[in-house]
Each structure stands twice: as C-alpha cells, then as structure tokens.
Amino acid sequence: MNTAVPSQALPRMAGVATAATGPTVAWDDPAEWQSFSAPVAGAEGAWESCVAVLGMHCAACAMTVEQLLMPVPGVASVQVSGAGALARLVWRPALGQPSAWLQALRGSGYSLLPAGDPQVLQQRLRERRLLLWRWLVAGFCMMQVMMYAYPAYSAASGEITPDMQALLRWASWVLTLPVILFSCAPFFQAAWRDLRAGRVGMDVPVALGLAMAFAASSAATFDPSGPWGAEVWFDSVTMFVFFLLSGRLLEARLRARSAGALEAQLQRMPHSVERQRADGSFERVAVRRVTVGDTLRVAPGEVIAADGVILRGNTSVDEAMLTGESLPLPRSIGDAVIAGSNNLDGLLLLRVERTGAETRHAALAALMQQAATEKPRLAQLADRIATPFLLLVLCASAFAAWWWWEAGPAQAISAALAVLIVTCPCALSLATPAATLAAAGALARRGVLVRHLQVLETCAVVDTVLLDKTGTLTGDTMQVVDVLLRPGASRTQALAMAAALAQHSQHPASQAITRSAGAAAWDAGDVQAVPGQGLQGQVAAQAGATAQALWLGSAQLCHAPATPPEATQSRVHLADEQGWLASFVLDEVLRNGSFEAVHALQGLHLNVGLLSGDEPAAVARIAASAGIARAQAACSPEAKLAQVRELQVQGRCIAMVGDGMNDAAVLARANVAIAMGQGAQMAKGQADVVLLGNDLRGVPLLLRQARRTRWVVRQNLAWAAGYNLVCVPLAVLGQMPPWLAGLGMATSSLLVVLNAARLARLPGEA
C-alpha cells in the first residue's frame, strides 16, 4: 500500500494536520470538509462527516468524546465507536463550523483527522507504540517490585530486620514511580478530564484507586510508625497497572485488526495520478483534480483512482477489497475498471467516467464508515448505565472504607482499593462492541458488508430467507441452452454466423450468443439494425471470402417456425437467403454459488423461499435448479410485501435478499434486508447488508457469523455480570486484597477481548 504523500497534496494535508492540533479556518473551508462529508438524504442543509478520533484508549473514551461534541453549535447527532475510533457527526454548516469540533476537544487529550487521511495510520501507529512502551515499563517494574515484595510474604515473623524491610520498601517505591508517572498517565489524564467536565468516567475509580494506594504506601514507606501503618501495596499497584495495560494493548490490537478492512479501504486510494495533457504528454496531478473524460495512465502495481474504461492495454486487476473476489480478474480494451482496484501486471490508459463520491469505492467507504461508527443496542444500553454504575462503585468504596475504619486505616484503605479496582466496568463496556466489530470486520474481508452493526442481533434469530429471482438467484446474463437447426445445418457454424452479427449489439441475448460461439468468429460487414426486429448484414467465414446475407432476431424477421405454446424460454432466430436457418433457445442461469448457498441455508435449518414477478414455468424451473421447494411466481411488488407481512404476523423473522432495484418496499419491510452489490447504487438503498461480490454464499456466511456473535456476546455479558456479582461482595467484606482485585479485573477484561477476538476469523480461515 502506497502511503507516501505526493508534493501536489502537501498543501492540503498540511492544513488538515494543523487542524488536528487546534482550531483553524482550514476545516471551515467547504473544499476541505466536503472531502470527508456527504449530504444527508432527506434532510436539507444537513451533512454527515466521518472523522478519526486520535487519543482514545478504551471503550469509555467514546462516551467522553460524544459528550464533548454534542453541545457544539450545529451538531445534531454524534456517534463514536470505541472499537473503531471513528466519529460520525450529523451537522448543519449554517449553524456551526467544523473548527468548533476541534475547539471542543482542545485540552481533552483527543484530536480529529478526516477518516482516510494518511496521517491517521501514522498517528495510531505512534499511539500503539507508546502504549507498548507503557506496558513494557509496567511489566519490568512489576517483576522487580514483586521480587522485593516476596520476602514480606514468605519470611517468618522477625526474620527480616527493620533496616532490610525499609530498604526493600524504598526500592519498591523507586520502581513504582515510573509506573505512576509514565505507565499510568492515560488513566490520570482521562480521570482529570472527566472530573473537570463534571462527569464520572471509567478511569475515575481506576485513577482514584491507584492514587490512594500509592499515597498510602508512600506514607507507610516514609513513616512506618505513622497513622497509616506499615503496610504497602506497591506490588498491587504495579500488577494492576500491568494487567490493565495488557487488556488495553490487546484491545488496541483487536481494534486495529477488526477495523483493518475499513482502514485499508480508506487508505487504499492514491493521492496523485498521471493525467494526459492535450499534447499527449503526461503530468502528475492530485486525485481531486481529475474530472470525467480525463485520460489517466496507470502503471503496474498502482491502484486505480477512478471508475473508467480501458482505452489501451491488457492486465489483471485485484478487486478483493471491493468485492471479496480473491482471484485476479482479466481486463482488456473496452472493459470497465473501478476505483480502488489494483492494476497488477499491465500499463493501462483509461478514460475516467466517475470520480470522487460517485465511484463505487467512495460508496463502499461511506457504507463501511457508517457501519464502523454505529453502536449495537446492547452497547448503547451499556453506555447509559455506565455512569450510574460508576457512582455506585464510588459509594461502595466509601462504604467499605467507613466499615473497616475501626480495624485501622490500612485495612480500610485496602478494602476501598479492592472495591474501586475490582468493579472497573471495562469488561461490560467491551462485551458487545468488541464482538460485533470483530464479526463485521471478518465478514467485510469476505465481501459481506454489514451496514448496521445491530442487525447482527436480528440475523441471529432469522428463521426464513426469501430470495428474489432475476438479478439475485440468477445473474444478469443469459445463456444459450439449446440450438434448433434446419436440416443439414451445423450447430457450430450457425453459432459462429449468428455471433458475427450479435457482436454488433449490446442486447443480453446477443451477448449470450457471442459467448456461446467462443473463438469461432466470422466477419460481418454492412451490419444494420432492423427497428424492433433484430440485425441484418453480410457475413463471411473469413476476410476476402464470399459474403452472404444473414438476419438475426425475431421470428417475423427470420420467418422462423412458430414457437410451441408451452415453451417459456426466449428464442432468437437466424435466417439466410434460403429462409430460416436456426433458433437459439435462451434462458437465465443460476449465479455461481447460488445452489451451494441455498443448500447451506437449509443446513442451518432455515426456511428458504423464492418470490419472483416472472411467469410460473420459469420460476419453477429456476427453483428446482436451486433446490428451493417453495416458490411463488407472478408476484408484483405489492404481492411480495403482503407475503412478507403475512409471514411476520405468523411470528417469522424474515431476511429478504434482492437486487435493490425493484424490491425497495419488501426490503424495507423485512427484518433483515440484504442487497446484491450493484455498483454505486448500493449507497442509495436501505439494505442492512450488502453482498459486494454478488455472491449468495455470503448470506449463510452472514447468518452463521451472527449466531456465533450472539453466543460470544452472551458469554461476555454473563462473565462480566457474574464476575461483579461474586467479586464486589468479597471486596466489600475485605476478603479480596487489592492485588487480587487488580488481577481479577484485568483478567476479566482480557477474557472478554480474547473471546471476542475469535470472531475476527471466520470458520475455515487460517
């Protein structure tokens, strides 16, 4: 992936970089914010912007950023994904400007960059490296402090002299200082930010517990005979910080892995291209300067920057990031190529047909951004109960300190610390978003784009899958299934003669005949269209040979025999000067993988049905080919909608799969709407899920992954709830020392993250 920033893009990137560190008028320039924003359909004057949030450390940061941005003038709604570190804002330029977003985050430790900016990747890499250093420092100091604390646990009473005990404590204090000052910095910064804003975030109890433990331990080290007693908790502090950072490090790795499909998609586009001048020479310009009609030169290994048509050259392209198609696809003169695909092995000249937001890449990126920033319902519930829960934690900690105060300050502090540490709700906050984002990221790599994360909850309970026929179960092409011939005629020769005329037409039937003829091509000249009838022309077996007049098209044009009343397939006829010569029987064919998809859905114990507006005989034939027992033909859009409503009244949960063209009503009514990827039009649909590669095998893959996700989320929530129910009473009763509380809390978060990480790989993936 090319991450270098060309010189032509430097002025703009510099302005954005400045904007990320403080308010600037650069972001208020419409040319800037429109590059990462799009108008909101149905809301005049409203725009939707997707920005990357830098400085986020955990899921709790998402709530803080939302609370900071919501009061900004002009902002109507904010959704921040803690797992994806992305924010989606709906706002009105007439009421406020983007520079106000940056002003709102000033001093909070967070900053913003447009999603897809090359600097996002660099900044996040820098953040992960800093987190790794904090973790390494905490781990090294923890091991040393544990070594110094071991004699106090293992030695008999009076075995260690007071001088030696003081030396060990001072050594532990010195080694704990780097942990408090460096490794704990994110916790203290986040807690101070929340308290200053009048909020109680998840880092408040953590920071309070760490500060109390270190202060009390320091007092005991400086004055062992003082009122705070002689007990120290340096080992508990360092162990707690180490395990807490371990959880955050794994969370960061999971976030990078789960959001990798989106980040790779956004970072994939080049920043500059070679554009042809009027004199035929080439100049390198920024991608944003490319317009429709320009001619671009794309070298092998480069990413194509716009949708277009090849004018010169032959190559193979990699469209895996866009369609899920893992194999390179051949492309030659006249073929269409799409932005974001990789030119593998040929020098190309292409004419630009769509740029910027009109490209399929932009539509896909917009859908992925929307999916990455939406929160499942369970995650929204966890956000709402987090603040009351944290207030309850602080009250429980204060109660524990009051209850144990008569036993001595040391015992009271130990109980209060244990309550603060053990009840950190990180596991509860991570339980749902970590699992859903991991699952969605794995599906995206296979060409299944989940537009709304909460739909995974619904997909897990789907019991009926209804399929459209044309464009969904079948492809958008036809094929020749039979050839009827005049006595003495040759099938191969008839196909070759018909293909010579058919290649001058873009009609689906003509294209089917051309494909069936293969390499056996004849020459055709003086080809003319007969309005409403077909084609006529002079066809010869080879250049220079005697040509004969041929007609290709309707039965009337070719004087063909009457079609039997029971015949349902389309027919195209061929005639020469002697009269009718051949008839080509055409029919729809199943998409590649459709039969396997239906079989897999039935293997999941789902009811599979076919709804089509086509005639009964054609629908029955396709249903039988796909293995579908229940098929309904001659369905108008209203009839499809009524069928879905009837099934829902019966208690069925419906997933409807359509091509998104004439199934809008029934897709909107279904519990889960799944649309086939149809170029940039998919951005205009209301589908919950888009099959980017038009492969129906993505449907059982989606439903199977949704069931796995539901099971993992339930496991995570059950573990987080059970852990708190067991450990909180033990901490209040003084039966859990701070070091054990820290170990339990960190282990809880680690288990949730590791359990969710299983969803980042689909079954069968290496």
DSSP 569: S
| Residue 726 CA to its chain's centroid (Å) | 36
Rounded CA-CA distance 359/305 in Å is 9
DSSP 758: G
Copy the structure tokens of residue 291: 């317009």
Sheet-wide strand order for 579-590: 474-485, 579-590, 570-576, 548-553, 534-540, 523-530
Copy the structure tokens of residue 426: 């990180």
Half-sphere exposure of residue 265: CA atoms within 13 angstroms, side-chain side: 28
Rounded CA-CA distance 695/404 in Å is 64
Active-site residue list: 468
Helix, coil or strand: residue 552: strand
Rounded CA-CA distance 291/352 in Å is 7
Question: What length does the chain have?
Answer: 766
The structure tokens 């909020």 sit at 199
Q: Could you tell me if 536 and 456 are in contact, meaning their C-beta atoms sit under 8 angstroms apart?
A: no
Helix, coil or strand: residue 50: strand
Sheet-wide strand order for 672-676: 448-450, 689-691, 672-676, 654-658, 464-468, 607-611, 630-632
Q: How far apart are the first and last CA of the chain?
A: 22
Residue 525: CB atoms within 10 Å: 11
Residues in Cβ contact with 642 at an 8 Å cutoff, skipping those fewer than 6 apart: none
Phi and psi at residue 228, to the nearest 5°: -85, 0
Quote the crossing angle between the two packed helices 185-196 and 60-69, to the nearest 10°.
40
Amino acid at residue number 229: G
Amino acid at residue number 703: L
Rounded CA-CA distance 657/675 in Å is 6
Which helix or strand (DSSP H or E) is residue 631 part of? Answer: strand 630-632
The structure tokens 């790989």 sit at 761
DSSP 116: T
